[in-house]
Amino acid sequence: MNSIALRCIQIKNLMRYTPVLILLFLGVFFSAITPLEASSGNKIGDKPLIKELLDVIQDVKTQNISDEYPCFSSPVQKRCTERPQTKNARQIKVQKTLRLLDILEVNQIKGTWTIRAFMMTRWKDRKRLRFKGKDFDGRTRLIYNDVLADEQIKRIWTPNLTIINAISERNREKLTLTIDRNGTVQVKEIFTAEIRTNFDYRKFPFDEQTATIEIEPFTEINKSVRLVPAVRKSGNSSTPPDTWEAGEFSGVFSTRPGARFELSSDKPGAWLAPDGANDFSLVTYKLELKRNYLNFLTTAILILFLHAIALWFSAMSWDHYKQSIDWPFPILISIVLFSQFGQTVLPTLSYLTLYDILRVQIYIYFIADLLVWTAGRRLAKLEDIPAQIRNKRIRVHILGPLFIIFWALTIYLSDTVTSVF
């Protein structure tokens, strides 16, 4: 028994020195493989021994993570960029929201508006992007910003959301990609874009416009990917240009056919499937814009009206020969020249605007008054005083009031009048 107890004590004492022996062995081993600096001090090479050991351990750990999570590291793998497989081939629901931050410009000549906006997109890719927190230093969420986000987006599948009515590709100002440990992907971005929209100027300058932003998954049809709202209502914190007043900002989710489906189909016209099976999911954001017409009213419409009133007052005057005064041709020239510049903010249009109709009415009034005045001059030569008085009454009591009434009715019934033209 004594001999057995003695051996146990010796083994126990020997185990005390085991860690020291292991460290001594590692020190000798790494000292042998670590290059020495070419200096008189004979120092250890570029990296300390412990740091080299940690780098080796980290490389092994990184390699294990790359093997287990291939979609989180380079190079790009095809299996990671394909559309996620779903049970029973169900749609992938992509949650979408957009907040309008600023309206940089409303270009009426080009029919575009330039915006700065925040967009958030969320979807799930659980089979490929779900991870264990212990493999990523206890993290429950991986966050990539800007350049790193761009690189990671190339490694995974995304719905490839595209602003269909944009003039060119949107310019990303800020980009953040977040992947939760359950495989939920969230992309947030702040961007600027110039977007084409359809403006109807028939009621100019009392018009109201609807500016739109149309967003679709460019390569996925609705039966594969469907856009759904991420929040109840889209937000708007923008300030429109001085010439406009902003109204309601809303988003409408729908579908529509797209000819680009035929790029992946052998059947011509497949994109026009009668049941809408090949339609693309679409969200259309709309902002109601109302023109601030007060400035135009005082600098253009009012001046035209004052020209007409000046003509009306001239019809009431007599010269010292008891005849109507000379017709005011300078007023006609002035109104023709001035009225040409009232609509320079608009493009060339194939239809008449409300301003065009008002301008035509004042031209008609001037021409009618000129014809009646010319007839009065002929009566003056015949010295027919009663006929001259009747002529003047036509100018003062009929033509002038009729012009004012027609102008007022045209503005009041602008919806009906502009629909006719």
Least confident of 27-41, 105-119, 379-393: 27-41
pTM above 0.85, yes or no: no
**Alpha-carbon span 190 to 175, nearest angstrom:** 7
The CATH number of 78-291, from 2.40.170.20, 2.70.170.10, 2.60.40.10, 3.40.640.10, is: 2.70.170.10
DSSP 149-204: HHHHHHHS----EEETTBSS--EEEEEEEEEETTSEEEEEEEEEEEEE-----TTT
pLDDT band of residue 261 (cuts 50, 70, 90) is low
**Alpha-carbon span 285 to 216, nearest angstrom:** 12
Burial class (CB in 10 A: 0-12, 13-18, 19+), 300: buried
Can you give the length of the chain in residues? Answer: 421
More confident residue, 95 or 383: 95
Spatial neighbors of 316 by CB under 8 A, at least 6 apart, are 392, 396
Instruction: Answer yes or no: are the C-beta atoms of 350 and 356 closer than 8 Å.
Output: no
**Alpha-carbon span 311 to 324, nearest angstrom:** 12
Q: So what's the pLDDT on residue 3?
A: 58
The token pair at 400 is 């002038």
pLDDT band of residue 213 (cuts 50, 70, 90) is very high
Arithmetic mean of pLDDT, 234-258: 90
- Token pair 């902002």 is found at 287
294-420: which CATH architecture?
Up-down Bundle (1.20)
The tens digit of pLDDT for each residue in 49-91 reads: 555 544 544 444 444 555 677 888 778 888 888 988 888 878 8
The tens digit of pLDDT for each residue in 105-161 reads: 999 999 999 999 999 999 999 989 999 888 888 889 999 999 999 999 999 999 999
Arithmetic mean of pLDDT, 82-103: 90
* CA distance readout (Å), 333 to 303, 337, 363, 366: 14, 6, 11, 11
Q: So what's the pLDDT on residue 51?
A: 56
pLDDT band of residue 381 (cuts 50, 70, 90) is low
CA angle 147, 152, 158 (to 5 degrees): 115
Q: So what's the pLDDT on residue 172?
A: 94
Arithmetic mean of pLDDT, 258-283: 72
Least confident of 32-41, 106-115, 325-334, 395-404: 32-41
Instruction: Answer yes or no: are the C-beta atoms of 49 and 34 closer than 8 Å.
Output: yes
Domain ranges of the chain: 22-68, 78-291, 294-420
3-state class of 265 per DSSP? coil
**Alpha-carbon span 368 to 61, nearest angstrom:** 93
Max CA pair span of the chain: 160
Helix, strand, coil percentages in the chain from 3-state DSSP, rounded to 5? 45, 25, 30
Q: Which amino acid is at 361?
A: Q
